Amino acid sequence: MAGWLTTHVLDTARGRPAAGMKVDLWRIEGETRRHIRMLTTNADGRTERPILPESEFAPGLYELSFHVGDWARNGDTFFDLLPIRFMMTEPTHYHVPLLVSPYGYSTYRGS
């Protein structure tokens, strides 16, 4: 069994999924930050496929960068780019959701 990574972005100010938000995945190795891919959230606030599929899983330090400023489009946000760094150590499902509003956000390790 290998691990994989997913996300789900919710607009808590409007009570709906954050559709159309770009999300970058980076792998952090020492001082090197390597871009793996960019995906965009769908109408449900999820990406159509895992951000990191099982076939590409490797333990390590990763960063998801959420393009909140571009997504908000009308400038109705304090945030521009929200980076979230986390460790994936075991071959299992990692889910990193983002709950975002114009002046606050929250994240956690989901299931």
Chain segment 22-33, per-residue pLDDT in tens: 999 999 999 999
| Band of residue 2 on the pLDDT scale cut at 50, 70, 90 | confident
Q: Helix count (H) and strand count (E) of the chain?
A: 1, 10
pLDDT tens digit sequence for 31-78: 999 999 999 999 999 999 999 999 999 999 999 999 999 998 767 889
Domain boundaries, the chain: 4-106
The pLDDT value recorded for residue 11 is: 95
Cβ neighbours of residue 56 under 8 Å, at least 6 residues apart? 36
Nearest to 28 by CA among 85, 68, 101, 67: 85
Contact (CB, 8 A) for 102 and 76: yes
Q: Which residues of 68-95 are buried (b: 16+ CB within 10 A; e: fewer)?
A: beebbeeeebebeebebeeebeeeeebb
Instruction: Look up the CATH superfamily of 4-106.
Output: Transthyretin/hydroxyisourate hydrolase domain (2.60.40.180)
The C-alpha atoms of residue 104 and residue 32 are separated, in whole angstroms, by: 29
Q: What is the pLDDT of residue 29?
A: 96
**Which residue has 């109408």 as its token pair?**
43
Given pLDDT bands bounded at 50, 70 and 90, which one contains residue 92? very high
